[in-house]
Amino acid sequence: MVLSPEQAAEIDRLRTETHQTLRPTVPALEELLFHPIPILDHGFVRVIDYMGDDGAVVQAARVSYGRGTKRVSEDKGLINYLIRHRHTTPFEMCEIKFHVKLPIFVARQWIRHRTANVNEYSARYSILDREFYLPAPENLAAQSDQNRQGRGEVLGGDEAARVLDLLREDAQRNYDHYLDMLNEGTDGKPADPGRSGLTRELARMNLTLNMYTQWYWKIDLHNLMHFIALRADPHAQFEIRVYADALSHVLDRWMPITAAACREHIIGGARLSATGLKLVKRLVKGEKVTQADSGLQPREWRELATLLGIDPA
């Protein structure tokens, strides 16, 4: 990721401005504020603003006038209790706003999380930059035989090079056609005075999905944890997982107690069906259980066996 001189100057300006406030701030997150976290080849995540901290979660849970309890251990215990028992509203009281630059195909997955406020860069109003995502060779994989949404073996050297050439050529060609249809010079006048340019809202139609877009994304703490739990999972697509990993890093700085509780109970924990729980109780008693007499469908049986580290056969 390369910042333009204008972008770097803007970040420096924002970092030198200070504002007096009576509301809680988080020094570890203040250090990160406005700085871009590089992701993929041209992408990034930046924290623009935030509201609340671990103490604000405790305060909301107790509806008190103070800043939580006097002992951190009590705040930690309450936050773990809230997450463990799915009391989500105290976490909805805290919010954070990001500036995200990401490939369009990743944005189309991301927007499925409909619990945030989003304002995206408008290609009807502005001209998109010549920036598109090209995977690293180690991330070029064949279609999985087992999972229609997953990847299989990494492509070999010659085949990977051929695919990268196709991706690069398609993106470059389509962007050249985009500029040609716009017929706009850098001075805002027609590049070819002899013809009219196509409107921006139509010229963008042929751009490839690996073009980069940008948006401001504001979300509450509860739904941020839900996003991270789903998208930082090893089964998530790599290109969105790296963004979720960056958001997880931000969460660690912003809400260290809540982040640890999230890893303990949401990311590292597991939910069982009623039948699955009965099965676990039978296993604890020492019973020999097979899929046929477990009461579970084959897929749930395999998932539970993997979770418990037992042989599904």
Show which residues are catalytic.
Answer: 231
Please state, in angstroms and rounded to a whole number, the distance separating the CA atoms of residues 117 and 96. 11
Amino acid (1-letter code) at residue 155: L
Residue with tokens 């139609």: 205
Please state, in angstroms and rounded to a whole number, the distance separating the CA atoms of residues 132 and 168. 8
Reported in sequence order, the residue ranges of 56-155 that DSSP labels E, i.e. its strands, are 95-103, 116-120, 141-143, 151-154
Residue 89: C-alpha distances to residues 56, 116, 197, 250, 256 (Å) = 12, 15, 51, 21, 19
* Structure token digits, residue 183: 């017929």
CB 99 within 8 Å of CB 212? no
Amino acid (1-letter code) at residue 150: G
CB 44 within 8 Å of CB 37? yes
